[in-house]
Amino acid sequence: MSVTDLEAKLGYRFQNPDLRRLALTHRSHSAQHNERLEFLGDSVLNLAVAGLLYRELSNFDEGDLSRVRSSLVRQQALHDIAQTLSLHQHLHLGEGELKSGGLRRPSILADALEALFGAIFLDGGFDAAAKVIDGLYSPILKQVDPRTLGKDAKTLLQEFLQAHGLPLPAYQVVATSGAAHNQMFEVECSLLKLNITVLGNGASRRAAEQAAATKAFDAAQQALSEAPKKRRRSRKSPEPAPQAKLVFAPAEKSDAGAPAAGKPVTEKP
């Protein structure tokens, strides 16, 4: 892919191509590299995303805005955007980094994207950089739920249970394995009211708890979504009460020998 294609995806054409090249040059390639531009781009990115969130999430308070911004500008989010831009095709890396898979390394791709933002800021000003950043992040913001973005699994599970009036989960380490410097933890998460017990594994107790919370959250959502269906199935329409039948008793002969009219008799079911 040519640099023209990259600029088309960014929605910005560099007036100074040297800035673009510098933004895509890793320190392993040359003494002239992108680290200073990365520093600049980090600040430009944070301000542009803050402005975007301020406009789009008018009902969010400062704490929630900070949480969402933190999630959107972290390395993984930048790496994902860099992949959509095929940024690895334009990086300039040293021989050692190329051999070790540097073109696909998340940290290198994320840093290069920030450096590009810094380069656009120097080349065209903040408005130009903010326009590029808005164009990359607006679709992402429409695809995620800002209310949960950036929250870990334990927090999401706790808020979900509280919203449904259920007790908080109980976590317990049930097993550890491996050497002291390389331990693995197994944690049990129990939701007693829902009869849910799951296990999670991780390299630390916290990581194992998060893994267990993720499974418990999924199970709890499924259990509560199925509960109304079960209640509806259990509600059977009452059978209609049997109705009494009106029959006539056989006619009896009168003293005169003529049959008397039959008398109605109620027959119970």
Q: Which residues are catalytic?
A: 42, 114
Which of 1, 3, 49, 8 has its CA nearest to residue 23? 3
Query: Which structure tokens are listed for 201?
Result: 């594994």
Q: Between 236 and 163, name the one with better pLDDT.
A: 163
d(CA 23, CA 17): 10
d(CA 151, CA 119): 32
Which of 85, 68, 86 has its CA nearest to residue 141? 68
d(CA 73, CA 147): 17
Q: Which amino acid is present at 256?
A: A
User: Residue 239: left (phi > 0), alpha (psi -120 to 50), or beta?
Assistant: beta
Model confidence band, residue 153 (pLDDT cutoffs 50, 70, 90): confident
Instruction: Report the residue count for the chain.
Output: 269
pLDDT of 202-240, one tens digit each?
989 999 999 999 999 999 989 888 766 655 555 555 555
d(CA 167, CA 165): 7
Q: Return the top range by mean pLDDT from 12-26, 157-171, 216-230.
A: 12-26
Query: Which structure tokens are listed for 127?
Result: 């408005």
Specify the pairing of strand 245-248 against strand 184-191.
unpaired
Residue written as token pair 């829902």: 194
Given this model, what pLDDT does residue 266 score?
52
The secondary element (H helix, E strand) that includes residue 220 is helix 205-234
Given this model, what pLDDT does residue 230 score?
58
pLDDT of 232-263, one tens digit each?
555 555 555 555 555 545 555 545 555 555 55
Model confidence band, residue 156 (pLDDT cutoffs 50, 70, 90): confident
The pTM of the full predicted model, rounded to 2 decimals, is 0.66
129 and 120 Cβ atoms separated by less than 8 Å: yes
d(CA 199, CA 208): 8
12 CB burial (10 A radius; 0-12, 13-18, 19+): buried
Q: What is the DSSP letter of 92?
A: B
